[in-house]
Structure 1
Amino acid sequence: MKKKWFYFSIILLFMAGLTGCGMLSQRASSTNTASSKTAAQTSRKAETPYLQSTTPTFYVHGFHGSARSTNTLISYAEKQTGAQKVLVATVASNGQLTFSGEWSKNIMNPIIQVVFSNNVAVYDSQSAWLQAVISELATKYGFTQYNVVAHSAGNVATVNMLMTADKPANFPKIAKFVSIAGCYDGVITVDDVVNQNYFTSSGAPAYEHAAYVLLDGKRQNFPNGVHILNMIGDLNDGSHSDGLVSNVSARSLKYLIRGHQADYTEKVFSGSNAQHSELHENSQVATAVDQYLWGNPNYQQAKK
């Protein structure tokens, strides 16, 4: 009788062991499956050249500019990254705002094209108009950060806006700023001369023109933590300029933001396609803008 109970106990223990092994096997299988799914998702994300974000990007033209000034850049962004122009914000000469288009929450990499009806207005006016556009849309759509891509004087208007202390309490934070041919310290044939200006040992431009002096006077208001890509044109014709803006004028942005915690990068484009107005039609410029705003840093690593 004792032998029967002994053998019976052994059988029960053996069966219990099989059950436990089965449960462990199932748990291990589930864990492996979950890990595989996570790895697959990470792999797919790494294989995507451009990331998707709900952060809006505002495209701003310069003096004498129009929607044409940013149409090509926006078209490249839509084709290359899946971005979508959701709104055109038109500002009348009296500051009245008109919005056309449709912006739904599920749209990734949304773009707002800003158009000033008075495209030769002073910087202060364009800065105030740009701030009004961003403020009204932030109130309506609830975004807390934004990007700006600007050309020529649109950059001065943008930086002037960023340096203006008087903003609504809920005004969103700028994340990335792409400056193309920024005329921060003079325009050739207007208030600058070819090959006249240069940087002193302190990093300051030797000749500081009126607009630059005004900006430098309120630089303390420039926000911290901004990622900046400063794109500069050089015709390679000895003028050290894009035909209208000298390299020193464009690069003087760096000195304006001294003392601030900014991630600052410069990129120079050379040749005939680097002429002032050609820069916003240049495919290399457009690609550099798209990669800076939405490029996936893990993409190239995944391809290796």
Structure 2
Amino acid sequence: MRRERTFHSFWLILGAIFLLCLPGFIWRPHQEAHVRANYRSMIAPVFLVPGSSATQNRFNALVKELNKESGTKHSLLRVEVMTDGTLKYSGTIRQDDMRPYIVVGFQNRHDGAANIENQAKWFGIAFRALQKTYAFNHFSAMGHSNGGLVLTLFMEDELAATHVHADQLMTIAAPFNLEEQNPKVDTPLFDRLCANRNRLPKQLVVYSIAGSKTYTGDGIVPFDSVNRGKYIFQNQVKNFTQMTVTGANANHANLPENQQIVSLIQQYLL
């Protein structure tokens, strides 16, 4: 009888221990998932994507100026994505550099909506290869002209599958409605960007900058085309800010070297 009571007590104690530990077993996977979702790697690269006709060397002067402004010389890695998906690298990322610049250019640099779509896919190839190599899980990005469209398409179409967080996006003179002059006409690309805007990262902070050479645009991209970014990003991302830069070097081609924009990149993107 005593042996039966002892055996019974043992199972009661074991059962009580199990019940006490059960909440921990249930809570632990949720805790691990929370940590994975919120962990930020030390390295957080800044991706730079040029517009049509520009190569991966487009931002050499900009990076030099940014390094001068910040007082810290960050690495510059340039990647050219070939039409067959292979990658060509120039430059390096220092092992101790947690904020390197990575410029992604394309062998096919032609303009046009179809090629912009292709470039977004090519950017995805480069992004996944770089993420595998450098093990970052968050980043910021800047795109000039069609480069802003490439980054927006990538964030709508492919970013979620990479499980990498986008912190900030800055678009400079991005023609969200291409070069359409009539504000009453929507291009198919603009419709596509609007249709998929709900896929944009909810914690993303976006800055859209327009240049003002004339009262209607920067000499190439109409104001209305840049301003349409609000219909894509507003109420879809954490914050959306739109700015206009005027004065010297406010024409389309010179905007990345515009001193006001260099300061804006330094202040908001870095």
TM-score bracket, normalised by the shorter chain, equals 0.7 to 0.9
Aligned length in residues: 225
Instruction: Please provide the CA RMSD for this pair.
Output: 1.9
Q: 1:223 aligns with which of 201, 209, 218?
A: 201
Q: Are 1:154 and 2:147 counterparts?
A: yes
Tell me, what secondary structure is at the counterpart of 2:249? helix
Q: How high is the sequence identity, in percent, across the aligned residues?
A: 23
Q: Are 1:63 and 2:47 counterparts?
A: no
**Counterparts of 2:267 and 2:125, CA distance in 1:** 28
**Counterparts of 1:146 and 1:157, CA distance in 2:** 16
Match of 1:186 in 2: 178
Tell me, what secondary structure is at the counterpart of 2:59? helix
1:260 CA displacement: 1.4
Q: RCO greater where, 1 or 2, for CA within 8 Å and sep 6 or more?
A: 1
Match of 1:80 in 2: 69
Tell me, what secondary structure is at the counterpart of 1:259? coil
1:167 CA displacement: 5.3
Q: 2:220 aligns with which of 228, 244, 250?
A: 244
What CA deviation, in whole Å up to 9, does each residue of 1:170-226 have, x standing for no partner? 441111101001011121xxxx22xx42xxxxxxxx321121012112122111111
**Counterparts of 1:279 and 1:89, CA distance in 2:** 22
Q: Are 1:126 and 2:119 counterparts?
A: yes
| Residue 168 to residue 245, structure 1, CA distance change in 2 (3 Å) | closer
**Counterparts of 2:85 and 2:239, CA distance in 1:** 33
1:83 CA displacement: 4.5
**Counterparts of 1:77 and 1:110, CA distance in 2:** 12
Match of 2:104 in 1: 114
Tell me, what secondary structure is at the counterpart of 1:104? coil
Amino acid corresponding to residue 258 of structure 2 in structure 1: N
The question of whether the paired residues in 2 share the 8 Å contact of 1:72 and 1:280 is answered with no
Match of 2:265 in 1: 289
Q: Aligned ranges for residues 164-175 of structure 1 at < 5 Å? A: 164=157, 166=158, 169-175=161-167
Amino acid corresponding to residue 130 of structure 1 in structure 2: F
Tell me, what secondary structure is at the counterpart of 1:185? coil
**Counterparts of 1:167 and 1:275, CA distance in 2:** 31
1:246 CA displacement: 1.3
Q: 1:92 aligns with which of 48, 64, 82?
A: 82
**Counterparts of 2:239 and 2:49, CA distance in 1:** 21
Amino acid corresponding to residue 215 of structure 1 in structure 2: L
| Residue 72 to residue 101, structure 1, CA distance change in 2 (3 Å) | closer
Q: Are 1:208 and 2:182 counterparts?
A: no
Match of 2:20 in 1: none
TM-score by length of 1: 0.69
1:118 CA displacement: 0.9
TM-score by length of 2: 0.77
| Residue 261 to residue 153, structure 1, CA distance change in 2 (3 Å) | closer
Amino acid corresponding to residue 208 of structure 1 in structure 2: D
Q: 1:104 aligns with which of 84, 89, 94?
A: 94
What CA deviation, in whole Å up to 9, does each residue of 1:105-143 have, x standing for no partner? 311321111121111161221111111111111111111
Q: Are 1:138 and 2:131 counterparts?
A: yes
1:273 CA displacement: 1.5
Match of 1:4 in 2: none
**Counterparts of 1:177 and 1:229, CA distance in 2:** 6
1:99 CA displacement: 2.2
Tell me, what secondary structure is at the counterpart of 1:147? strand
**Counterparts of 2:229 and 2:256, CA distance in 1:** 19
Q: 1:256 aligns with which of 210, 225, 232?
A: 232
